[in-house]
């Protein structure tokens, strides 16, 4: 189904966002579907995303599952972020989850899974387990974060968004970058994953519990990082999107993406 910005505006008016304070940081999130269920599908967005970016998948799955999407606040360090996620889920009565993480969210999801035993399945979408290539590319930029104007940082990020052929997705993501993300938030997210460290392997059975979704010629995830992820989880189920899906198949090819998730969740 082709979506429009008006569809998204309708979603915003129909779904009430939630907020919770954890260690002096405000976390915003959606909690949809059966809110009494102790099992939930939890979405973690990428570097420039927000809790609403998976709105098409949430709408698709909420009749069957409890679905939660978190807005990652400007907290530095995946350890601190993971602790916050755990405290939110525990506080709202969630005991078991399927984590769906894209890009930075997929990196965070793997770390969370290695630290907390509540993850039953893991969806790693256009993501990575090592970030050494990003560290080589951006370490100097991040070292001078206080001196570099925000518009220059956004200009670098906009170049990749211009490659998106799906008109509504490109307009939406550019608007998010222009108007809805601060320098503080963006730099905190970048600082949390642009390192030369390698994550621990998520302690799940790849054959039955891990799904990898990737785009051929993803403009934001180099092929080397895609191969390193699959090498880490060699028996994982892998679903590929063609180049036109870009880095954001959950928006550019949302029906196919949602169906892939549903099949993985229900098999």
State which residues form the domain around 240: 5-266
pLDDT of residue 226: 98
Total domains present in the chain: 1
User: How far is 186 from 73, CA to CA, in rounded Å?
Assistant: 9
pLDDT of residue 258: 98
Chain centroid to CA 225: 16
Distances (CA, A) of 122 to 42, 72, 193: 10, 18, 19
pLDDT of residue 136: 87
pLDDT of residue 147: 83
Q: pLDDT truncated to tens, each residue of the chain (267 aa)?
A: 789 999 999 999 999 899 999 988 999 999 999 989 999 999 999 999 999 999 999 999 999 999 999 999 999 999 999 999 999 999 999 999 999 999 999 999 999 999 999 999 999 999 999 999 988 888 877 788 888 888 888 888 888 898 999 999 999 999 999 989 999 999 999 989 888 888 999 999 999 999 999 999 999 999 999 999 999 999 999 999 999 999 999 999 999 999 999 999 998
pLDDT of residue 157: 86
| Residues 6+ away with beta carbon under 8 Å from 181 | 48, 50
Give the CATH number for residue 256: 3.40.50.1820
pTM for this model (two decimals): 0.95
């Amino acid at each position: 189904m082709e979506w429009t910005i008006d569809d998204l505006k309708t979603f915003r008016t129909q779904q009430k966002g939630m907020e919770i304070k954890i260690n002096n940081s405000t976390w915003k999130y959606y909690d949809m579907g059966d809110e009494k269920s102790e099992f939930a599908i939890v979405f973690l967005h990428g570097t420039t995303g927000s809790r609403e970016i998976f709105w098409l998948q949430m709408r698709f799955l909420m009749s069957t599952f409890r679905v939660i999407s978190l807005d990652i606040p400007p907290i530095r360090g995946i350890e601190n972020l993971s602790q916050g996620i755990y405290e939110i889920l525990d506080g709202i009565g969630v005991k078991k989850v399927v984590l769906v993480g894209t890009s930075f969210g997929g990196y965070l999801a793997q770390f969370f899974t290695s630290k907390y035993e509540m993850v039953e399945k893991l969806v790693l979408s256009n993501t990575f387990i090592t970030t050494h290539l990003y560290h080589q590319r951006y370490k100097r930029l991040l070292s001078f974060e206080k001196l570099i104007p925000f518009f220059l940082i956004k200009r670098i990020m906009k170049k990749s968004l211009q490659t998106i052929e799906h008109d509504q997705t490109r307009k939406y993501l550019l608007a998010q970058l222009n108007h809805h993300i601060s320098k503080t938030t963006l730099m905190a997210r970048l600082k949390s994953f642009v390192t030369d460290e390698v994550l621990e392997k998520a302690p799940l059975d790849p054959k039955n519990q891990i799904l990898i979704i990737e785009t051929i010629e993803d403009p934001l995830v180099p092929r080397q990082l895609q191969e390193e992820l699959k090498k880490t989880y060699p028996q994982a189920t892998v679903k590929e999107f063609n180049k036109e899906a870009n880095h954001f198949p959950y928006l550019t090819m949302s029906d196919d993406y949602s169906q892939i998730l549903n099949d993985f969740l229900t098999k």
